[in-house]
Amino acid sequence: MRILHTDVLVIGGGLAGQRAAIGARRRGLEVTIISLVPAKRSHSAAAQGGMQASLGNCRGAQGDNEDLHFADTVRGSDWGADQQVVRMFAHTAPKAIRELAAWGVPWSRVERGEHSITVNGQKQTVSEADAAHGLITSRNFGGTAKWRACYVSDGTGHAMLYTMSNQAIAAGIPVHERMEAVALIHDGERCCGAIVRNLMSGELVAYLARATCIATGGFGRIYRVSTNAIINEGMGAAIALETGRAALGNMEAVQFHPTGIFPAGILVTEGCRGDGGLLLDGAGERFMPGYEPEKAELASRDVVSRRMEEHIAAGHAASSRFGEHLWLDIRLLGEAHINTQLREVQEICQYFLGIDPARELIPVRPAQHYSMGGVRTDPHCHSPTLRGLFAVGEAACWDMHGFNRLGGNSVAETVVAGMIAGEAIADFCASPEGALTVSTTLAEEFHRREANKLAAIAGNSGGESAVELTRLMQETMTANVGIFRHGDKLQQAVNTLRDLLQRSANVGLRSQARGPNPELVAAYRLPRMLKLALCVASGALAREESRGAHYRDDFPRRDDQKWLCRTLARWPGDDAETPQLDYEALDVMGMELPPGWRGYGARDFIEHPDTATRQAQLEQALAAAGELDRHARQQLLMPFLHLLPAGLQARNQRLGDAP
Amino acid sequence: MRPSVNRWPARVDVLQSASGLLLVLFIWGHMFFESSILLGHDAMYLVAKAFEGQPLLSEPHPELVSIAGGTVLMLIALHALLALRKFPATWRQYRELHGHLGRMRHWDSTLWYVQVITGFFLFFLAAAHLSQMMLQPEDIGPYASADRIWSDHYWLLYAPLLLTVHLHAAIGVYRLAMKWGPFSAATTDRWRGRARLLMVSALAFFLCLGTASLVTYMRLGAEHAPYKGERYTPSWERE
Amino acid sequence: MSEIPTRAVRELTIRVLRCNPAEPEQTPEWQDFRLEEAEAMTLFVALSLLREEQDASLSFDFVCRAGICGSCGMLINGRPGLACRTLTRDLPDTITLAPLPGFELIADLSVNTGKWMRGMSERLETWVHDAGLADHNLAQVEAPMDPALAREIYELERCIECGCCIAACGTAQMRENFVGAVGLNQVARFRLDPRDTREDADYYELVGDEDGVFGCMTLLGCEDLCPKDLPLAAQIAFLRRKMARA
Ligand SMILES: Cc1cc2nc3c(=O)[nH]c(=O)nc-3n(C[C@H](O)[C@H](O)[C@H](O)COP(=O)(O)OP(=O)(O)OC[C@H]3O[C@@H](n4cnc5c(N)ncnc54)[C@H](O)[C@@H]3O)c2cc1C
Ligand code: HEM
């Protein structure tokens, strides 16, 4: 057995993992990243539209600040988020973007003078100030008060990931590519590395580390139609779940993006609508303003996706031989705009649909897009229940997204959380807790266990097919745990998934090829994906309310009284068939922004008994304090700066601020 | 410039291209002079004498032709030596290249290969032609050349030389344009289109011109065969 | 309106070059698969079906399946391209697929482009060089950049390191150490970037030799087969002029 030692093991080479790795490396630690694919091929590269940060440079962003970003994010989350974490995030996002700007991301910039923009289907002219010329510009995104999504044409994630990866290479951080973590090594209290399978040779290696950080991205592939990469199978979250100690938070909170191209499910960015694109129905009519007069196409994703499905159900879809869909119209933006600001969209339409979006409509339908849930952490990205285990990015439930993430907040989260986690990991390693005391016998034990499991799977001559079971899982999830959910269907889904989990023990392999045996990979990932799917379905079944992306036909109202809480799913043991669900209350009395109406979507909800009290308390505190600037005001209501590393606490300067 | 840096790769690349360009200019110029035969014996005679320096020095000095030939030969040697670095050097490289070209069916890659092959042949053909010119510089003239081409069967050298040198030169010019040309992302297509047009038209033009003069020499040679060895006397010197 | 054009169902022959270095007793060989074509079928869909239904051991790499990540470069009927966004309807009845040449073979259609690209990045130091980066003041308003320049940099930044330019390059096929269009484009990108403090003399040290820009023989395979339509010929010509003078 081969054992590799490193101070920090980062599982995942996307934006989140690499930023955390760079942070820890800068603090002098030896860091190793492992990744299923070359780091630059991680799915972060697919992010198109933008990264939210309240820079306030361009005209549409004027007056933006952390307070507005905070409020938009909390509203977007339908009050499911941890508000302190949202504050940490909103405060750090401008720093993250400025760091990336210094590192080389070619952010699109403000251009002085008059510009033609498209708002509500109409052309308007805006004028950009001389002083802002050359600063980072931003575009409009759903659910935001200001134009806050900073972008690089529509290759934002690509540009960010390349810059990040290049900086990681500059820092000399090794990335062990085509390596898959298949189990976390732990003693029930402390995580001390992972068992890793080499996807080229099949070799199992033990990586022992003082701190382990999961940054494995989302798990969209448990659904049939998803915008996610096909490697987004959630293996990081799954191996955390399998420890039985670490918990997965809010797994039922799954986002569906309004504009997956139909039927392939490939994403076209929200930037299309942010820049003025419209949604049309089968009759070629715009329908969103009828449902959402306030924000129309630019309500939050959960709301828009729901309205689209509602509209389809009401018989207004367009249809093709693949089924029913709606249209996205970006023709009105003009060819010049599309060819510079929406290049990837243009390419995707050209190659996958054979159409020119400057002239033709794009067929779209909501598709699974983002996992708000993931490995539950504290504000320092550290698992509260398994020490030494950190998690960042989409794989984590740091919980700034609650039950719905705003477009552009995810890549922002990856970098911000990475910055915070890098410091937290280094602090942890420097603390007495951070010493690695376990003996290699623990590693050997885990190694043996995984090797035996793999041998059993490879030698299984059972009659089940991994392909078939995977397909059944995906169909079940898409049909029964999708945008509209219902108790009966969810129960059915849980039953089916449980059954599939049992059947997955009987998957037989046809090929015994050595080396990168793709069939074996599918077979050992399947039960883990099923466990994640069970967490999603069970959590959704248990949560008898509608909040953010989690919508129950049978419980259509948000219920703050009973459900203002975070779901925590644990896998009780190897033979368990369903997760154990616990709930962590969100404390209204600690909130800066007590629950209310989001400003779009449903208006009625069941109020939490503390909401009025907290509201009064906040008002009183403000009245008693008298004149305060916004920073002091905020500090009074909900202090958070102490949670941030010292280097990230400074106030963000903006254009026009006194230096 | 840092002293430690090796400037040779840059110099060599420039030299390779510059020598190629000079050779192209030479061969294109050469074509016009050589094809003066199409305008008649006297025209060709004058051109030949001009190159022997007669108009300036009042006496013909065939050594001048030898010197010019030598220079070109040296230029070719230099150019060939530099270009040789680009040839597939090992069996493995040769195999890779062949497989690659076969699979890709890519026009420009194949053109390069044409250049390699024509270059290889030019090494012999041009050397043969030039050394002959250097050794017998006085034997350039309407009758002498025609006799050599027909009666001495030199057309067997010149026909392939004509084809290879023009293929090689035209493609070479296209390559030079794409290698060094001041085009930008926006103008690549236009630039490349024009460079291609230049390549094709130059090739067509010089092949026609060359063939026409070669055929003329051959015809003249055939007519003059009975008097082989006789030298041409320009019309104004005859009584 | 935007209907995807229909066509009679074809039976495709997909001919794959099979080779698994982990099984050295097997020699590389072509294997034919038959598959019924479906509407809007991409090679991603076709290969996934083959693996699911006909041969579970077939190896290939797809990640984003949207033409963005650069994982699925392969030789499609002899020419490099991204399989995920190649529609079978644009191909003849027989489709040959082979791994990208010039990279270490993992198995079948899967090659180790990641390792090659990392080596290239380390060698050419493809990152912004600026001594002040580590203690940059993040609270400060960012330094302005000309919007047109930002666009120009992004134009070169769009490279997805798929390796198609290496497979399309006769020079790279003959000479293992040649950095190829992907490497030269990166140098051009950082050279353009005012945040990078390196000068031409520094870049000359990286690409001023036969393995760098002077090794390029201008065969233009990169220019013609780059899936992202990067202006590679223009960049290389530009770099060559600069380096010749550096
Ligand atoms: C099509 C699309 C467009 C998007 N657009 C936007 C946008 O415009 N703005 C926005 O904010 N967000 C966007 N998002 C969301 C955002 O891109 C992702 O949430 C974010 O990039 C995730 O980053 P990450 O670092 O957490 O994970 P990823 O980038 O997904 O990286 C995961 C890494 O983990 C590795 N890995 C996984 N499992 C294992 C394992 N078991 N062992 C070893 N390594 C493993 C992978 O190889 C990979 O390197 C988009 C998402 C999609 C799908
Ligand atoms: C002995 C004879 C010759 C040989 C072996 C030879 C060989 C070659 C080769 C292999 C190349 C391609 C080099 C590369 O791709 O970098 C080349 C380029 C070229 N050759 Fe020649 N050549 C010969 C004679 C000539 C002659 C007589 C001319 C002029 C008519 C000529 C003009 C050119 C030009 C213009 C180029 C392009 C230059 C460049 O790529 O930089 N060559 N030659």
Find the Cα–Cα–Cα–Cα dihedral C139, C141, C147, C150, rounded to 10°.
Answer: -30
B2 touches chain C (CB under 8 A): yes
Residue B3 in any domain: the answer is: no
Residue B53 in any domain: the answer is: yes
Angle at alpha carbon of residue A182, lines to A180 and A186, rounded to 5°: 125
Give per-residue pLDDT as tens, C162-172.
999 999 999 99
Q: A187 phi and psi, to 5 degrees?
A: -115, 20
Q: Which residue has the tokens 């042949």?
A: B121
A208 is written with which tokens?
């022992």
C15 is written with which tokens?
């001919």
The yes or no reply on domain C11-111 and CATH 2.40.420.20 is no
Residue A29 in any domain: the answer is: no
A171 touches chain C (CB under 8 A): no
- CA separation for the pair C135, A102 (Å, rounded): 11
Give per-residue pLDDT as tens, C108-141.
999 999 999 999 999 999 999 998 887 889 999 9
Supply the CATH classification number for the domain C125-245.
Answer: 1.10.1060.10
**Domain end: A319, A337, A366, which one?**
A366
Q: How far is A444 from chain C (nearest CA, A)?
A: 25
Please give the pLDDT value at position C1.
47
Considering only CA atoms, give the Rg of chain B. Answer: 21
| Positive or negative torsion for Cα C177, C180, C185, C188 | positive
Contact B108 C220 (CB under 8 A): yes
- CA separation for the pair A556, A552 (Å, rounded): 5
Q: Please tell me the residue having the least CA distance from ligand 1 atom 27.
A: A217
| Positive or negative torsion for Cα A94, A595, A587, A542 | negative
Q: How far is B180 from chain C (nearest CA, A)?
A: 5
In chain C, CATH 1.10.1060.10 sits at 125-245
A21 is written with which tokens?
């790795």
Q: Quote the DSSP letter at residue B100.
A: H
- CA separation for the pair A587, A564 (Å, rounded): 8
Number of domains present in the structure of chain A: 2
- CA separation for the pair A215, A370 (Å, rounded): 14
Q: Quote the DSSP letter at residue C65.
A: S
Contact C57 A230 (CB under 8 A): no
Q: How far is B160 from chain C (nearest CA, A)?
A: 25
Mean pLDDT score, A344-365? 94
- CA separation for the pair C94, A299 (Å, rounded): 48
Please give the pLDDT value at position C39.
85
Question: Which residues from B are below 8 Å from C201, CB to CB?
Answer: 1-2, 5
Assess whether the previous peptide bond of B182 is cis (omega < 30° from 0): no
Number of domains present in the structure of chain B: 1
Question: How many residues are present in chain C?
Answer: 246
CB distance C19 to C106 below 8 Å = no
Q: What is the position in ligand 2's atom list of the atom closest to the CA of B122?
A: 2
Could you list the mean pLDDT of each consecutive 10-residue stretch along chain B, which spans 239 residues? 78 96 96 94 93 85 91 94 90 94 95 95 93 89 94 95 97 97 95 97 97 96 93 87
Q: Where are the extended beta strands (E) located within A103-170?
A: 113-119, 122-128, 138-139, 149-150
Q: What is the position in ligand 1's atom list of the atom closest to the CA of A228?
A: 53
Q: Mean pLDDT across chain A, nearest whole number?
A: 95
Mean pLDDT score, A123-145? 94
Mean pLDDT score, C48-65? 94
- CA separation for the pair B109, B205 (Å, rounded): 24
Give per-residue pLDDT as tens, C73-116.
999 999 999 999 999 999 999 999 999 999 999 999 999 999 99
Angle at alpha carbon of residue A143, lines to A142 and A146, rounded to 5°: 90
Q: Please tell me the residue having the least CA distance from ligand 2 atom 17.
A: B83
- CA separation for the pair A165, A603 (Å, rounded): 44
- Which 153-182 residues of chain B touch chain C by CB within 8 A? 175, 178-182
Please give the pLDDT value at position A318.
94
Give per-residue pLDDT as tens, C168-198.
999 999 999 999 999 999 999 999 999 999 9
Mean pLDDT score, C1-12? 67
CB distance C90 to A498 below 8 Å = no
- CA separation for the pair A622, A641 (Å, rounded): 19
List A273, A301, A376, A566, catalytic entry: A301
Please give the pLDDT value at position A436.
85
For residue B122, give the ligand nearest its CA. 2
Q: C210 phi and psi, to 5 degrees?
A: -70, -20
Q: Which three-class secondary structure state does DSSP give residue C234?
A: helix
* Interface B:C, ≥3 CB–CB pairs < 8 Å: yes
Give per-residue pLDDT as tens, A84-121.
999 999 999 999 999 999 999 999 999 999 999 988 88
Residue C6 has pLDDT above 70, yes or no: no
Contact C139 A650 (CB under 8 A): yes
Q: How far is CA B17 from the centre of its chain?
A: 15
Q: Which residue has the tokens 């036909």?
A: A553
Q: Quote the DSSP letter at residue A223.
A: S
Check if B115 has its Cβ closer than 6 Å to any atom of ligand 2: yes
Name the residue range of residue B53's domain: 13-238
A267 is written with which tokens?
């994403």
CATH value at residue B105: 1.20.1300.10
Residues 6+ apart with CB under 8 A from A440: A3, A208
CA nearest neighbour of C205 among C179, C172, C171, C169: C179
Distances (CA, A) of A488 to A482, A495, A578: 13, 11, 17
Please give the pLDDT value at position C5.
53
**Ligand 2: centre distance to CA B164 (Å):** 11
Helix A487-503 and helix A466-480, axial crossing angle in degrees, nearest 10: 170
Please give the pLDDT value at position B2.
62
Mean pLDDT score, A304-313? 95
Amino acid letter, residue B22: L
Distances (CA, A) of A52 to A239, A275, A412: 30, 15, 6
* Interface C:A, ≥3 CB–CB pairs < 8 Å: yes
CB distance A521 to C60 below 8 Å = no
Q: Which three-class secondary structure state does DSSP give residue A646?
A: helix
% of chain A residues with pLDDT over 90: 92
Q: Which residue has the tokens 């959402």?
A: A292
Q: What is the position in ligand 1's atom list of the atom closest to the CA of A409?
A: 11
Residue A26 has pLDDT above 80, yes or no: yes
B67 is written with which tokens?
């010197």
**Any idea which of A18-32, A123-137, A431-445 has the lowest mean pLDDT?**
A431-445
Residue A171 in any domain: the answer is: no
- CA separation for the pair C199, C221 (Å, rounded): 29
Residues 6+ apart with CB under 8 A from A30: A6, A7, A8
**Domain end: A310, A336, A366, which one?**
A366
Please give the pLDDT value at position C203.
96
Give per-residue pLDDT as tens, A370-405.
999 999 999 999 999 999 999 999 999 999 999 999
Q: Where are the extended beta strands (E) located within A85-203?
A: 113-119, 122-128, 138-139, 149-150, 175-177, 179-186, 191-198
Please give the pLDDT value at position B154.
94
Q: Where are the extended beta strands (E) located within A160-233?
A: 175-177, 179-186, 191-198, 204-214
Residue B4 in any domain: the answer is: no
Residue A358 in any domain: the answer is: yes
Q: Which three-class secondary structure state does DSSP give residue A231?
A: coil
- CA separation for the pair A519, C94 (Å, rounded): 26
Give the pLDDT band (50/70/90) at residue C23: confident
Query: Hey, of B2, B5, B103, B190, which one would you mutate to test binding to chain C, going by the most C CBs within 10 A of its CB?
Result: B103
Name the residue range of residue A309's domain: 259-366
Please give the pLDDT value at position C4.
54
